[in-house]
């Protein structure tokens, strides 16, 4: 996946000279995850800029660059390191189009490696998507496959609106073939990764492989689980989600971020409001606990795994 | 080895050049602690009389604009107006120091600078009237929206200036801030980025003595706010902010330096906010009448009037002309704001994204139905 993201950046920069990458360590080092590897060598330090270490300054500078007509792609090194830039993101990036009645759109992509499961110490594993999804004016995209990593990053950079592009860092090392010539996947469409009739697991990003594994394990219980990958949290694909939920009748929302006030709460509420008469059971959430991200040696207790997902599926009362 | 030996690392054998090598160009000298003044000095005679008259005219019109906007606030016609009364010299000089291709990044108190830049005086007030966020086209006016969060517009100015320089355009960005804004992290990050990138940007801090109620002594322990430039590796200039020709000349020099590749400058203008912070503020709680009176005697229009008359380039005709223009503007503001603005509620959904999301389409339909139902009831 890391290679696909790197290719997406490289191809976007080759095709469009207004695409500029900036962030801390994105130059000679190629980013701490090597996503920007080789970009400075190919495009020079102006197009792939090593900045001083200051996230608000990085994003604020990108805003000014976008105001002048560039298409900046910002790298925030880790999820929790993006927090100093939240004021720039919330007060300016998300609102500039609205504040200026469409005169100053900001086509900025903010790439943020997010989530746990890689043994990172504190401040390196937050799943912070709810902060972004509850901020009007931001698209929030999170790929779970290698092909989507490429296609959705291309679509995000091409978008005339700001995109928070959340990269599931525990999937960086996942391997699969992808076709860079394939049509660019538009932002805002969920995809059914696995069909099933017993229940649907609604998920995204780092939790997709866990859900696919759970669906495989569920066969032993006689359950046939569908798995739906949202891919984009904003805009939310109500249409696909509702179509699948109505046909299956039972739904579990799975994400690793804390549950209270989380994205899963929104999804469960939307599904319940729209599909109530098609549901045979309440929509259940499987999430991380409502705790600060734990030390790495304990994180496996926090992150939803196959067993916790199957327990939730069992709670959907199959007998009646 | 003593602690001092660690600090003077150049004296420690084996230190690695490259890692901590001092900059090839030495940091600029400390700013002078006495502000630049032009009015009442022989330097005034070197100034272009046409420019001086233009500054005078804009000061007078600007003062009237501030007064009328403040009155409209008291009448409930503006939601709020942070007046720049007493600070007009900074406002008009800032606008006049910029070329047409340059960009201005104003704070919420800088409406007058926006107007002085050529934006329609009524369009510049939509944010403060409450009918729209930004009433002008920022791209056409080369003027960013009035920025309400403190100092967050400063990195935008840096980014725009940086992008302009990459494109080879001789564009300079001017970011305007208050003294309180210099305590914010974004201010420091912007200065650091500007210096590292050598971006063609100028920072103008209008030090009016108070961040709402907190005096400068509780805001900063630096000898001057201009001193903050030194640590970032850029020149800092201190100027009498009520001396319009002085502010103009210092800013013009900084703009020219930026335009010709000399990098950023931090300018601190010493001035005073005669009015309260806004209509919601009670300035008598934190400052004395004596202090205000003393600053009234250092009023930018008063100083300008006196100096230009002594120089023989201000006559009653120009005074009358400026006064008439000011009254005409005030009358236009009263007439325009006499009635409530007509607003389209559906505009709420117009500019959230390039294309509304399915969720926004649904909500727009909901509001549309609510409006139709309301109209039904009224019939």
Q: Note the Cα A230 to chain centre separation in Å.
A: 9
Find the range with the poorest average confidence among A259-263, B239-243, B335-339. Answer: B335-339
Q: Per the domain annotation, does A177 fall within a domain?
A: no
Cα end-to-end distance, chain B, whole Å: 90
Q: Give the per-residue pLDDT at A185.
A: 79
Q: Note the Cα B132 to chain centre separation in Å.
A: 21
Q: Give the per-residue pLDDT at B281.
A: 86
Q: Are residues A128 and A230 in the same domain?
A: no
Residues in B closer than 8 angstroms to A236, CB to CB, are: 357-359
CB B377 within 8 A of CB A128: no
Portion 202-261 of A in contact with B at CB < 8 A: 234-236, 238-239
Residue B19 clears pLDDT 80, i.e. is over it: no
Q: A56 vs B186: CB contact, 8 Å cut-off?
A: yes
Q: Per the domain annotation, does B299 fall within a domain?
A: yes
Q: Are residues A159 and A115 in the same domain?
A: yes
Q: Give the per-residue pLDDT at A317.
A: 73
Find the range with the poorest average confidence among A233-237, A265-269, B74-78, B276-280. Answer: B276-280
Q: Are residues B278 and B226 in the same domain?
A: yes
B204: domain CATH number is 3.40.50.970
Q: Are residues B234 and B363 in the same domain?
A: no
Q: Per the domain annotation, does A287 fall within a domain?
A: yes
Q: A101 vs B156: CB contact, 8 Å cut-off?
A: no
Q: A65 vs B193: CB contact, 8 Å cut-off?
A: no
Q: Per the domain annotation, does A183 fall within a domain?
A: no
CA A153 vs CA A33, A35, A178, A286, A290: distances in Å:
16, 12, 13, 27, 30
The strand pair at A163-168 and A109-114 is best described as: parallel
Residue B18 clears pLDDT 80, i.e. is over it: no
Q: Which residue of B has its CA nearest to A22?
A: B159
Q: Are residues A68 and A165 in the same domain?
A: yes
Q: Give the per-residue pLDDT at B167.
A: 96
Domain containing residue B349:
344-378
Domain containing residue A88:
1-171
Q: Which residue of A has its CA nearest to B173?
A: A64
Number of domains present in the structure of chain A: 2
DSSP for A7-40 reads HHHHHHHHH-TTEEEEETT-STT--TTSTTTTHH
Q: B278 pLDDT band (50/70/90 cuts)?
A: confident
Maximal CA-CA distance, chain B: 90
Q: Are residues A60 and A198 in the same domain?
A: no
pLDDT per residue over B129-156, tens digit each?
Answer: 999 999 999 999 999 999 999 999 999 9
Number of domains present in the structure of chain B: 2
Q: Across all residues in chain B, what is the average pLDDT?
A: 92
Residue B1 clears pLDDT 60, i.e. is over it: no
Q: A180 pLDDT band (50/70/90 cuts)?
A: confident
The mean pLDDT value for B355-369 works out to 96
Residue B2 clears pLDDT 50, i.e. is over it: no
Domain boundary at A140, A171, A202, which? A171
Q: Which residue of B has its CA nearest to A88?
A: B152
Q: Are residues B339 and B351 in the same domain?
A: no
Separation of alpha carbons B181 and B228, rounded Å: 13
Separation of alpha carbons B272 and B109, rounded Å: 13
Q: Are residues B229 and B366 in the same domain?
A: no
Q: Per the domain annotation, does B250 fall within a domain?
A: yes
Q: Show the tokens assigned to A145.
A: 């496959």
Q: Are residues A35 and A121 in the same domain?
A: yes
Q: Per the domain annotation, does B12 fall within a domain?
A: no
Provide the b/e sequence for B145-169 (b: ≥16 CB within 10 Å).
Answer: bbbebbbbbbbbbbbbbbbbbbeee
Q: Give the per-residue pLDDT at B16.
A: 52
Q: Per the domain annotation, does A181 fall within a domain?
A: no
The mean pLDDT value for A168-184 works out to 91
Q: Are residues B269 and B329 in the same domain?
A: yes
pLDDT per residue over B213-268, tens digit each?
Answer: 999 999 999 999 999 999 999 999 999 999 999 999 999 999 999 999 999 999 99
A196: domain CATH number is 3.40.50.920
Q: B152 vs A92: CB contact, 8 Å cut-off?
A: yes
Q: B341 pLDDT band (50/70/90 cuts)?
A: confident
Torsion angle of C-alpha atoms B110, B114, B117, B120, degrees rounded to 10: -150
Q: Are residues A53 and A162 in the same domain?
A: yes
Q: Are residues B88 and B58 in the same domain?
A: yes
- A105 lies within 8 A of chain B by CB: yes
Q: B25 pLDDT band (50/70/90 cuts)?
A: low
Domain boundary at A171, A199, A215, which? A171
Q: Are residues A160 and A41 in the same domain?
A: yes
Residue B8 clears pLDDT 50, i.e. is over it: no
Q: In which residue are the tokens 């971020």 written?
A: A257
The mean pLDDT value for B276-297 works out to 90
Q: pLDDT: is B42 or B10 the higher one?
A: B42
Q: Which residues pair with A234 in a beta bridge?
A: A140
Q: Per the domain annotation, does A310 fall within a domain?
A: yes
Q: Per the domain annotation, does B18 fall within a domain?
A: no
Q: Per the domain annotation, does A97 fall within a domain?
A: yes
The mean pLDDT value for B358-369 works out to 97
Q: Per the domain annotation, does B247 fall within a domain?
A: yes
Domain boundary at A142, A171, A200, which? A171
The strand pair at A284-288 and A251-258 is best described as: parallel
Portion 156-175 of A in contact with B at CB < 8 A: 159-161
Q: Per the domain annotation, does B316 fall within a domain?
A: yes
Q: A182 pLDDT band (50/70/90 cuts)?
A: confident
Interface test with A, best of B160, B181, B360, B364 (most A CBs within 10 A): B160
Q: Give the per-residue pLDDT at B26.
A: 54
Q: Per the domain annotation, does B16 fall within a domain?
A: no
Partner residue opposite B159 with nearest CB, options A65, A159, A188:
A65
Q: Are residues B183 and B77 in the same domain?
A: yes
Q: B160 vs A68: CB contact, 8 Å cut-off?
A: yes
CB B103 within 8 A of CB B225: no
Q: Give the per-residue pLDDT at A92.
A: 98
Distance from CA of B212 to the nearest CA of A (A): 21
Spell out the alpha helix ranges (H) of B75-199.
88-97, 111-116, 126-129, 138-141, 153-167, 185-197
Q: Is A32 exposed, middle or buried (0-12, 13-18, 19+ CB in 10 A)?
A: middle
Residue B24 clears pLDDT 70, i.e. is over it: no
Q: Are residues B211 and B353 in the same domain?
A: no
Q: A319 pLDDT band (50/70/90 cuts)?
A: low
Q: Per the domain annotation, does A185 fall within a domain?
A: no
Q: Are residues A126 and A256 in the same domain?
A: no
Q: Per the domain annotation, does A184 fall within a domain?
A: no
The strand pair at B210-211 and B214-215 is best described as: antiparallel
Q: Are residues A146 and A211 in the same domain?
A: no
CA A300 vs CA A116, A292, A295, B307: distances in Å:
9, 14, 10, 76
Q: Are residues B201 and B54 in the same domain?
A: yes
Q: B7 pLDDT band (50/70/90 cuts)?
A: very low
Cβ atoms < 10 Å from Cβ of A260:
12
Q: Give the per-residue pLDDT at B92.
A: 97
Q: Are residues B233 and B365 in the same domain?
A: no
Q: B152 vs A87: CB contact, 8 Å cut-off?
A: yes
Q: Are residues B268 and B362 in the same domain?
A: no
Q: Give the per-residue pLDDT at B33.
A: 82
A148: domain CATH number is 3.40.50.970
């Amino acid at each position: 996946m890391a290679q696909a993201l790197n290719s997406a950046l490289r191809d976007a920069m080759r095709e469009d000279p207004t695409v500029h990458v900036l962030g801390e360590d994105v130059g000679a080092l190629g980013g701490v995850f090597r996503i920007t590897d080789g970009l400075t060598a190919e495009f020079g330090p102006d197009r792939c800029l090593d900045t001083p270490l200051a996230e608000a300054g990085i994003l604020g500078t990108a805003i000014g660059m976008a105001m002048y007509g560039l298409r900046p792609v910002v790298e925030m090194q880790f999820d929790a390191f993006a927090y100093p830039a939240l004021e720039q993101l919330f007060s300016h990036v998300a609102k500039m189009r609205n504040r200026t009645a469409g005169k100053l759109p900001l086509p900025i992509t903010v790439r943020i490696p997010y989530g746990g499961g890689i043994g990172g110490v504190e401040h390196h594993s937050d799943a912070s998507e709810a902060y972004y999804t509850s901020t009007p004016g931001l698209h929030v995209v999170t790929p779970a496959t290698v092909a989507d990593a490429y296609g959705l990053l291309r679509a995000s950079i091409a978008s005339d609106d700001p995109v928070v592009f959340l990269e599931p860092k525990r999937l960086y090392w996942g391997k699969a073939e992808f076709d860079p010539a394939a049509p660019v996947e538009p932002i805002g469409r969920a995809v059914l990764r696995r069909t099933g009739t017993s229940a649907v697991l609604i998920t995204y990003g780092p939790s997709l492989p866990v859900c696919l594994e759970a669906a495989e394990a569920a066969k032993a219980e006689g359950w046939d689980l569908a798995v739906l990958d949202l891919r984009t949290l904003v805009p939310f694909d109500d249409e696909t989600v509702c179509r699948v939920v109505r046909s299956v009748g039972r739904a579990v929302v799975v994400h690793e971020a804390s549950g209270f006030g989380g994205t899963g709460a929104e999804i469960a509420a939307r599904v319940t409001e729209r599909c109530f008469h098609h549901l045979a059971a309440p929509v259940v959430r499987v999430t991380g606990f409502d705790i600060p991200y734990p030390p790495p040696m304990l994180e496996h207790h926090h992150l939803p795994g196959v067993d916790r997902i199957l327990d939730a599926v069992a709670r959907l009362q199959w007998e009646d | 080895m003593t602690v001092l030996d660690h600090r003077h690392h150049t004296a420690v054998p084996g230190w690695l050049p490259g890692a901590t090598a001092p900059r090839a160009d030495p940091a600029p000298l400390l700013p002078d602690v006495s502000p630049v003044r032009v009015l009442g000095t022989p330097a005034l005679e070197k100034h272009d009389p046409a420019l001086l008259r233009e500054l005078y005219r804009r000061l007078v019109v600007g003062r009237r604009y501030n007064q009328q906007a403040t009155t409209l606030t008291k009448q409930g016609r503006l939601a709020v107006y942070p007046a720049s009364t007493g600070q007009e010299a900074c406002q008009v000089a800032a606008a006049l120091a910029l070329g047409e291709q340059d960009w201005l990044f104003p704070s919420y108190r800088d409406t007058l600078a926006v107007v002085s830049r050529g934006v329609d005086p009524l369009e510049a007030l939509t944010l403060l009237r409450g009918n729209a966020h930004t009433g002008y086209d920022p791209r056409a006016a080369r003027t960013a929206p009035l920025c309400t969060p403190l100092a967050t517009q400063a990195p935008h100015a840096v980014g725009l200036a940086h992008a302009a320089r990459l494109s080879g355009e001789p564009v300079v960005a001017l970011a305007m801030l208050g003294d309180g804004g210099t305590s914010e992290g974004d201010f420091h990050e912007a200065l650091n980025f500007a210096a590292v990138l050598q971006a063609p940007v100028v920072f103008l801090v209008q030090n009016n003595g108070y961040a709402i109620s907190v005096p400068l002594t509780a805001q900063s322990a630096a000898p001057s706010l201009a001193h903050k430039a030194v640590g970032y590796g850029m020149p800092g200039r201190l100027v009498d902010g009520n001396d319009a020709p002085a502010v103009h000349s210092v800013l013009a020099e900084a703009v020219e330096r930026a335009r010709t590749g000399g990098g950023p400058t931090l300018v601190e203008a010493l001035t005073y906010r005669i009015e309260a912070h806004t209509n919601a503020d009670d300035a008598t709680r934190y400052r004395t009448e004596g202090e205000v009176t003393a600053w009234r005697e250092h009023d930018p229009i008063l100083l300008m009037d006196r100096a230009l008359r002594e120089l023989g380039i201000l006559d009653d005709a120009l005074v009358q002309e400026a006064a008439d223009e000011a009254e005409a503007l005030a009358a236009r503001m009263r007439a325009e704001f006499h009635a409530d603005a007509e607003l389209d509620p559906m505009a709420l959904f117009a500019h959230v994204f390039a294309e509304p999301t399915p969720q926004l389409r649904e909500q727009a339909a909901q509001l549309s139905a609510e409006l139709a139902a309301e109209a039904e009831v009224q019939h």
